[in-house]
Amino acid sequence: MKKILKMTSILIISILGVNYTLAQEVNIYTSRHYDSDDALYSEFTAATGIKVNIISGSGNGLLERLKAEGKNSPADIFFTVDAGNLWRIQKEGLFRAINSDQIMNIVPVNLRGPNDEWVAIAKRARVIYYNPEIISPEQMQRISYEDLSDPDWKGKIAIRSSGNMYNQSLVASLISNHGVDMTEEWAKGLVSNFVRKPQGNDRAQIMAVANGEATLAIANSYYVGIMLSGRSGDAQLAAAKKVKIHFPNQNNRGTHINISGAGILKNAPNHENAVMFLEFLLSDRVQKYMVDLSYEYPVLESVKPHPSIASFGTDFKEDSTSVADYGKYNIDAVMLMDRAGWQ
């Protein structure tokens, strides 16, 4: 039995007759820039009485800040997108193992960092977008990531730059499965098939397909949900209605999955609150609330994605490659992409 007693400056939680006194705040460093997250923080405060303090910035900027603050850092949680970013924080020795059976029972091993120092909060697939008026779903059915280097696609593929972490993690996943040499040959073929020099964000790639500039585009799944919501304007809404999603590699390892994730920092002054926050994010109600705002895929199998994302399919096979490998092979991926001429 749990009882929560709110006081002016502390939070007392009584569990089975034992009182735990917690500072009534949790400090989150985040490189996520989604309006939907503000609603999550408010929900947590409303549910627990714990104030959420946010420090936002770029991944690089927050990493340097954490290193400069050292043991005096007020940060409890680092919350970000892409497993590669979480790996960088862990590599600096700034995380601690997440000690929660509840979290470990929810998050699969392949969606956790080494030593359980960070975990997925939501999932996103890096998929192929196409216009069904140009190429049929039947033609798309057997296309894998590996097939995108085939000369048949010369001058037909849109994708953003090699400096983008999402692309680096996709390449790292290929290295994990095929090794550096084979992946480098693939990257050279892919680059020769670009319809244009990489430019713009993921939505710009989807727009290129909708406008007939490209036949295929590689981009994250949730962007089409944002575009279909109308929040990005009529032009993006119209473009999103023209395209379809193809989930590659359904005949072998499955579609590349990346994450939004979080870890508890080594010197967290509000460790118990940090654990509670992560458990909160992985609860059924909050998972549904979150993915309905961000258009990502939930970690919990009992929760369904937003209908606009679900309309493209929900029973696709996911690649079970460990997301920790995206950080492990990041340097190899960046160097390989540079050698392949991927700008």
What CATH topology corresponds to 124-256+313-339? Answer: D-Maltodextrin-Binding Protein; domain 2 (3.40.190)
Q: What is the pLDDT of residue 22?
A: 52
CA dihedral (151, 153, 154, 155) in degrees, to 10, reads 180
Q: What is the pLDDT of residue 314?
A: 87
Identity of the amino acid at 9: S
Q: What is the pLDDT of residue 59?
A: 85
Query: What CATH number is given for 2-123+258-310 in this structure?
Result: 3.40.190.10
- Which residue spans of the chain are classified as CATH 3.40.190.10? 2-123+258-310, 124-256+313-339
- Is residue 171 classed exposed, middle or buried when 0-12, 13-18 and 19+ CB atoms within 10 A define those classes? buried
Rg of the chain taking only CA atoms, in angstroms: 21
- How far apart are alpha carbons 66 and 30 in whole angstroms? 12
Band of pLDDT at residue 33, cut at 50, 70 and 90: confident
Mean pLDDT over residues 136-155, rounded? 95
Q: Are strands 51-56 and 25-30 parallel, antiparallel or unpaired?
A: parallel
List alpha helices for the chain, DSSP H.
Answer: 35-48, 59-69, 83-91, 101-106, 137-140, 165-178, 180-192, 202-210, 222-228, 234-242, 271-281, 284-294, 307-310, 324-328, 330-339
Q: What is the pLDDT of residue 34?
A: 72
Band of pLDDT at residue 60, cut at 50, 70 and 90: confident
Mean pLDDT over residues 18-40, rounded? 77
Mean pLDDT over residues 196-209, rounded? 97
Distances (CA, A) of 305 to 14, 81, 225: 35, 18, 10
Q: What is the pLDDT of residue 37?
A: 82
Mean pLDDT over residues 41-56, rounded? 93
Distances (CA, A) of 338 to 151, 155, 168, 184, 191: 20, 20, 11, 10, 11
